[in-house]
Amino acid sequence: MTTTVGQYLSARLGQIGLKHHFAVAGDFNLILLDELLAEGSTKQIYSCNELNCGYSAEGYGRANGAAAMIVTFSVGALSAMNAIGSAYAENVPVILISGAPNTNDHGSGHLLHHTLGNTNYGYQAEMMRHITCATEVIFSAENAPHQIDNAIRAALRERKPAYIEIPCNLANAACAAPGPVSSLLSEPAADQASLEAALEETGRFLYARDKVVLLVGSRMRASGIIDLLPALADRMGCAVTVMAAAKGFFPEDHPAYRGVYWGEVSSPGAQDLIEGADGVLCLGPIFNDYATVGWRATLNPENTLLADLQGITVNGRVFEGFSIRQYVEALTARAPRRAGSAETPRQPQPTIPTAARDARLTNDEMARQINALIDSNTTLTAETGDSWFNAVRMTLPGGAKVESEMQWGSIGWSVPAALGGALAAPDRRHVLMVGDGSFQLTAQEVAQMVRYELPIIIFLVNNHGYVIEIKIHDGPYNYIKNWDYAGLITAFNAKDGHGLGLRATTAGELAGAIEQAKANTNGPTLIECDLDRSDCTETLVKWGTKVAAANGRPPKVN
């Protein structure tokens, strides 16, 4: 049996669980797009530009476990690199496929459009090698199946993006048909000797400590075992906190939950709990400058067990050869009970009083009303900025999810990412919080929400500038031209759209807008929340001051 290179790729994407792929057309990928449409395993979703295409795929991959996107050579792929950098930093397996020049043009001396103006056409793949776990440049249809499988397998196993380059004259060239997909989806067997030694060392670490607490980090999304964490907490009998970028990764209605650990801006009681424990079991953490509030929140290595995606570090020893899934599953079956930290009562979260309906809309009242909207079937996407801090302070029912991008932190990510998430999980309610400055970078993707009738509820926080940057380091570059954000929806709707654009300046107007948004199921609803520029969470101000101090450290003198 034979197929074509493009249809082989299409079949494989469907076999690994994708129902959609994202695309921006260009002359080097048109035949490839035709082949994907002809095979039909996944629906083709179009993006306004390649950056948005990548962010949409990244959001889709978070909800679905993997994603794919197709762009054209150079002018397309280089534009997508920022989004691929995000997927790499955030551990999301996005498969980037780029159309490429005809194989006959390599080494011919031909000068092609969409290139750097020289005859070296390998520069794009060389760039991609730095931000992907596998880079495959296909030069023959015969080898294409092996190369496609290698890229997909690497992406799924390493939870990182992979790159496949397909010349325009090979997309419809004949190749072998795909066989079973099991080899791409299966996890490598654990090194049992190493795993057993790691569990024994973990036991020694835990038995030697009286107050043990679990700390859940953002890499646990990539582990695929978030649902197993309550069982581990129950087995160990200890308290659980999450890092800010892991908000929602542990059910907040579980009796062991004790809030968000974020150094000096932690939930009430969480900092004392973590920093006062004599044993912290860290699962998939990222300790960067943002997570540590400018390197001020650091844990004692002697009292810390660090479990990453492909191994653990405990008692000064490193154990590898198994995944965090294999480790947590085994630990849940045999971990000793260490209940000291669970005896620490959960401290109540500060409540926000309800504002009068005619009161000027504030950040606190906006956050309170958004929190009331969130149920167990809601995914909240929070943009870089004060939306992080508003999301972190919310109380979530079990089953609610939060998506943020705290490692890469590229503003504008959230709008297309929410689109991707909504396509991947259409049975959930999708809520987006995004600031006005961030929104201006990727606003056009709301038009695609209209196109695909996605009922995403967008809270556009119009505080007239880059408030997070103002709090870190102020300057004239932090102030932007104001838009009629709610009015954009009319333009995006044109003659056939069902988007809804609303504006709220009071508490009552916001409450009314939310009710309209809940009833609008045939397109997005954008609610422009008009806030005073100085109105933001207290934690943002405190955190921003500390991060600014870390950024401003003078050079070391030798």
**164: β partners:** 97, 136
Interacting residues of 2 by C-beta distance below 8 A, sequence separation 6+: 174, 175, 176, 177
CB 127 within 8 A of CB 161: no
CB 343 within 8 A of CB 515: no
For 105, the token pair is 């043009």
Please indicate if the annotation marks 34 as binding a ligand.
no
Residue 392: other Cβ atoms inside 10 A? 24
Which residue type, as a one-letter code, is found at position 311?
G
Angle among Cα 158, 162, 168 to the nearest 5 degrees reads: 160
Q: From CA 290, how far away is CA 36, in angstroms rounded?
A: 41
Query: Which position has the token pair 């689109």?
Result: 419
Q: DSSP states of 126-164 as a string?
A: HHHTTT-S-EEE---TTTHHHHHHHHHHHHHHHTS-EEE
Q: From CA 17, how far away is CA 258, in angstroms rounded?
A: 35
3-state SS string over 305-358? EEEECCEEEECCEEEECCCHHHHHHHHHHHCCCCCCHHHCCCCCCCCCCCCCCC
Please indicate if the annotation marks 465 as binding a ligand.
yes
For 357, the token pair is 């309906």
For 80, the token pair is 């997508």
For 373, the token pair is 């909207």
Q: From CA 249, how far away is CA 240, in angstroms rounded?
A: 11
Please indicate if the annotation marks 436 as binding a ligand.
yes
By C-alpha distance, which of 353, 402, 358, 350 is closest to 538? 350
> What residue numbers does the annotated binding site for Mg(2+) cover?
436, 463, 465
Annotated binding site: 436, 463, 465
